[in-house]
């Protein structure tokens, strides 16, 4: 995979940079977690120092090929400008007259941003020719292309894959760092190697569980997905989230782990409530005795302590998915315990992006408390599944 060093002298060159600035916004349009924007800064600063003329491409939300002011990149452009200490001029369109004028007005070291690339219907098109047509318009704005949005490298999209095939291309520092960390997780990781999986659904993580059972020593399971595991063992789960169509698959994982000497660790206690609500009264019950009228919203304190002990004694840990409804204080204990344990790992600790990254920041942890916080939850999981990622494949050679 080519890197910035392979692109040579970039002074005066127009550099198209695909960033991942897909940050969460509150109802007023204010950014609630700027982690992805901050993660994009080092590569952009390096390009500025090199005298490049930088054109940032990014998306926000899912406008589905239509211009929607709710998904404008204006908040991201403003925050990026604050972090870089320079004005980041946002074009009023993606590949139209405003974009052309903004790019033409760049001087060495300047940074501009195109509007949300997902305003363009062809950006996410399944039609190769449509995407290629849009990629050619992107390519008119750049002499070289830098892929630095790891959160989208698993997507075959015009600003990720197709434009990389039209211009001299390389990975930015963020993508390079993400790939190096994931290689450490998949190629001879230091042991013990523990993986912590949470989130809502088992079905979202079937392939990654299948692959990790071959490489990890211990799999700790929490979040909504744990109830399908408990039900597969024959335990009642009350009104908890349950994927009945995955019960046989989960039983297969449990049998595979036992057969191959791997550990799948499930909670022994659960925090339940009568309703899915922040103010619902929490109760701790045994994991094999969830009342019929209750639903599980977090792993219990006994389980949290056990998970933390296993994590802290590991040399390599990958975590993806909260242990409960971490945005509600009454049900954040398990997630907080896992996060705190990751800060004590003597080795590599990786927070696998997405909801996990947002949760640790919301709980007051700093990014540098961990070995690595990924910016791409879905991309990280697909890499760990062993899938080919189109955005990385396009940078080979």
353 annotated to bind ligand: yes
**Is 159 annotated to bind ligand?**
no
Instruction: Classify burial at 224, counting beta carbons within 10 Å of its beta carbon; exposed 0-12, middle 13-18, buried 19 or more.
Output: buried
378 belongs to the catalytic site: yes
By C-alpha distance, which of 193, 20, 13, 192 is closest to 103? 13
Closest CA to 250 of 269, 271, 266, 239: 266
Please report the pLDDT score of residue 200 as a whole number.
85
| pLDDT for position 356 | 83
Q: What are the tens digits of pLDDT across the range 278-306? A: 999 999 999 999 999 999 999 999 999 99
- The reply, when asked if residue 354 is annotated as ligand binding, is yes
Q: Are 4-175 and 189-385 equal in CATH topology?
A: yes
pLDDT of residue 397: 58
Task: Find the catalytic residue in 36, 48, 79, 306.
Answer: 36
pLDDT on residue 261: 93
| Residue 64 annotated to the active site | no
What is the CATH number assigned to the segment(s) 4-175?
3.40.50.1260
CATH topology of domain 189-385: Rossmann fold (3.40.50)
Q: What is the pLDDT of residues 360-370, one digit of tens each?
A: 888 899 888 89
What are the E-state strand segments in the chain?
14-18, 53-57, 88-90, 111-113, 144-147, 169-171, 193-197, 218-221, 263-265, 269-273, 283-286, 295-299, 316-320, 348-351, 372-373
Cα 149 to Cα 295: distance, rounded to the nearest angstrom: 37
Q: Is 238 annotated as a binding residue?
A: no
In the annotation, is 191 catalytic?
Answer: no
Catalytic residue among 201, 262, 315, 387, which? 201
Establish whether 397 is a catalytic residue. no
Report the C-alpha gap between 195 and 250 in whole angstroms.
16
Give the C-alpha separation, 2 to 330, whole Å.
Answer: 47
pLDDT at 208: 86
Question: How confident is the model at residue 154, as a pLDDT?
Answer: 94
| Residues with pLDDT less than 70, the chain | 353, 397
Q: Where are the domains of the chain?
A: 4-175, 189-385
């Amino acid at each position: 995979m080519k890197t910035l060093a392979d692109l040579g002298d970039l002074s005066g060159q127009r550099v198209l940079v695909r960033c991942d600035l897909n940050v969460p916004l509150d109802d007023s349009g204010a950014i609630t977690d700027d982690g992805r924007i901050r993660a994009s800064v080092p590569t952009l600063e390096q390009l500025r120092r090199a005298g490049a003329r930088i054109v940032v491409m990014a998306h926000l939300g899912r406008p589905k090929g239509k211009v929607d002011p709710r998904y404008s990149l204006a908040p991201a452009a403003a925050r990026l400008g604050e972090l870089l200490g320079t004005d980041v001029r946002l074009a009023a369109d993606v590949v139209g007259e405003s974009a052309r004028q903004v790019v033409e007005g760049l001087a060495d070291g300047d940074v501009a941003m195109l509007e949300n690339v997902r305003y363009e219907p062809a950006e996410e098109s399944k039609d190769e020719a449509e995407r290629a047509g849009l990629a050619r318009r992107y390519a008119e704005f750049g002499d070289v292309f830098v892929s630095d949005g790891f959160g989208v490298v698993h997507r075959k999209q015009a600003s990720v894959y197709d434009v990389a095939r039209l211009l001299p291309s390389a990975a930015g520092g963020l993508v390079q760092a993400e790939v190096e960390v994931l290689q450490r997780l998949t190629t001879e990781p230091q042991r013990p190697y523990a993986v912590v999986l949470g989130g809502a659904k088992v079905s979202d993580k079937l392939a990654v569980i299948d692959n990790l059972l071959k490489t990890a020593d211990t799999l700790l399971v929490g979040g909504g997905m744990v109830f399908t595991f408990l039900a597969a063992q024959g335990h009642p789960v009350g009104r908890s989230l349950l994927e009945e169509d995955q019960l046989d698959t989960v039983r297969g994982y449990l049998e595979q782990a036992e057969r191959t000497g791997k550990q799948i660790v499930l909670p022994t206690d659960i925090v339940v409530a009568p309703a899915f609500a922040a103010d619902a009264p929490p109760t701790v019950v045994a994991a094999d005795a969830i009342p019929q009228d209750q639903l599980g919203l977090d792993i219990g304190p006994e389980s949290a302590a056990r998970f933390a002990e296993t994590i802290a004694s590991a040399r390599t840990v990958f975590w993806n998915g909260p242990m409960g409804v971490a945005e509600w204080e009454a049900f954040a204990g398990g997630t907080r315990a896992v996060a705190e344990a990751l800060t004590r790992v003597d080795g590599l600790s990786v927070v696998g992006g997405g909801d996990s990254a947002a949760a640790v920041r919301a709980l007051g942890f700093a990014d540098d408390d961990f070995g690595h916080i990924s910016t791409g939850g879905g991309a990280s999981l697909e890499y760990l599944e062993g899938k080919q990622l189109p955005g990385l494949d396009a940078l080979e050679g």
